[in-house]
Amino acid sequence: MNGRETILASIRARRLAQTPRPTPYRAPPTTGDLPQIFAKKLSAQYADVRMLDSMADVPAAIADILRGLNMAARIHIPPDSELASLELANVEIRREPPGAFDAAVTTAPFAIAETGTLAYPAGKGAPASWHFRPVLEIAILRASSIVAELEDVLAALPVGLPSTLNLVSGPSRTGDIEQTMELGAHGPKALAVLIVRDS
């Protein structure tokens, strides 16, 4: 018998009883102003969360974030992303993957209010690695795409699960040295989220 058959046979031979499929669990409901709840939860995880009235306010917000972190006026935007047409005065735009000290701008198709989480299904124009390569990630999110819980995101994925689904709740951190939190372990040291109200 090969490994597969041996393992399956071992499981079947020893099993005494089977428990039924449990009824679906319902988490305490997340209700109310979902963008507000989302912003509060994610801000508590060391992210810079800002509310904008329209996409027209995005360039000024990006410039302000870069200035506030003393970073060069240069951002990386993925090729083929819906931000490809974004125009920024006095900010250089690059298309190649960001390095460990660069800034990247991404779009989050979904976000989860329960935990303050951005949800990024990988796809065309949405490279998964860009959430981990830069030192600063600026995520643009439409207020209407904020849902209550992870189950809602899973149900809303248009063509099922892509090869990678990243859930991001704050900048990269580690507690591995003396159990004390430090930001910027491997991924971004700073995460900024621009929530754009739908006009």
Partner 1 sequence: MNQDPREFPQNARAALNDPLLRPALGRLKTHFGAGRAAAVARYGDFEALREAGRDIRDYAVTHLDELLIAFEASVNARGGTVHWARDAAEARRLILSILQDAGARTVTKGKSMVTEEIALNPFLEANGIVPVETDLGEYIIQLRKEPPSHIIAPAFHLSKEQVADTFREAHTELDPARPLTERNALVQEARAMLRRQFESADAGITGANFLSAAEGAAIIVTNEGNGDLTRLLPKTHIVVTGIEKVVADMDDVAVLLRLLPRSATGQPISTYVSVMAGPRGCGEADGPEDFHVVLVDNGRSKLIGTEAQDVLRCIRCSACINHCPVYGAIGGHAYGATYMGPIGAALNPGMMSVAEAGHHANASTFCGRCAEVCPVLIPLPKIMRHWRAVEYAGGLAPKTIVRGLGIWAFAAKRPALYRFGASLLARILKMIGRGGTVHALPVMHGWFAVRDFPAPQGKTFQAQWRARR
Which residues in 56-85 contact partner 1 (CB under 8 A)?
78-80
The answer to whether 162 and 153 are in contact (CB under 8 A) is no
**For residue 176, how many other CB atoms are within 10 A of its CB?**
10
Stretch that binds partner 1, among 32-40, 52-60, 82-90, 116-124 (CB under 8 A): 116-124
Task: Find the binder of partner 1 among 43, 55, 151, 197 (CB under 8 A).
Answer: 151
Q: How far apart are alpha carbons 136 and 65 in whole angstroms?
A: 10
The terminus-to-terminus CA distance of the chain in angstroms comes to 63
Binding to partner 1 by residue 96, rule CB under 8 A?
no
Cα atoms in the 13 Å half-sphere on the side-chain side of 10: 7
Contact (Cβ atoms closer than 8 angstroms) between residue 150 and residue 112: yes
Closer to partner 1 at the Cβ: 41 or 142? 41
The binder of partner 1 chosen from 51, 73, 184, 197 (CB under 8 A): 184
> Is 163 a binder of partner 1 (CB under 8 A)?
yes
15 is a contact residue toward partner 1 (CB under 8 A): yes
Number of residues that bind partner 1 (CB under 8 A): 74
Q: Does 134 bind partner 1 (CB under 8 A)?
A: no
